[in-house]
Amino acid sequence: MLLLFGCLYFLVKEKRGFLKHVKKEIFWAKVVFFVVLLYEELSWLTSDMSDFFVRVNEQNEINFYNSYFFNNHVLLGFDISFIGLHVSISLIVFTYSFVLLLLGFGSYVEVLQRFKFMFLEKRYSIYFLAYTLPLIANSLATQYAFEGFIPAFNPECCELFIYTIFFLDILRKRRSTKMLVT
């Protein structure tokens, strides 16, 4: 959570420097993105606010990631029969994977270059596989009874790692804009 505060702090503190190189709409979209992430992390403060949320959220909070809709809807399910593997992808896993891959590798896509500020610097891109690859490895280990060989996937550690990369990316962008100005 402190890393997200740090991201917001440096974005707002260096707003003038960033806005010399980035359209204001894209800059504010990035700020809103971090505000939403921070809200999701602080959503435990909304616990038990309403009986309505008992019906739509696993932890009776106002957030997306614990909602029954995101966690209980299988978006895609199929079998790979020749190796005896069943694959099912929930809406939340698909959403996280897609967003993280887009944020991590969007700067490589030519048509998205005008939104480059939203994406990670290329040097940090590979780290955004830190959600998808362990999830796949953990799933395979569970299905093939190799659970003891691969450490269990810990989403909280993964979040901390991703937020650290976000923070380093903001610091890198901050340093780059200062170097461009001087």
Q: Give me the residue spans of the domains in the chain.
A: 2-177
Q: How far apart are CA 87 and CA 91, in angstroms?
A: 13
pLDDT at 141: 73
Question: Cβ contacts of residue 40 below 8 Å, gap of 6+?
Answer: 63, 64, 65
> What average pLDDT does the chain have?
82
Question: 45 pLDDT band (50/70/90 cuts)?
Answer: low
The single residue listed with the structure tokens 């780290």 is 127
Whose structure tokens read 């990369």?
165
Residue 51 has pLDDT above 80, yes or no: no
Q: Are 3 and 164 in contact (CB under 8 A)?
A: yes
Q: Is the pLDDT of residue 40 over 70?
A: yes
Q: How far is CA 3 from the centre of its chain?
A: 13
Give the mean model confidence (pLDDT) for residues 156-178: 91
Contacts of 105 by beta carbon, 8 Å cutoff, 6+ apart: 119, 125, 128
Q: How many helices (H) and strands (E) does the chain have?
A: 8, 2
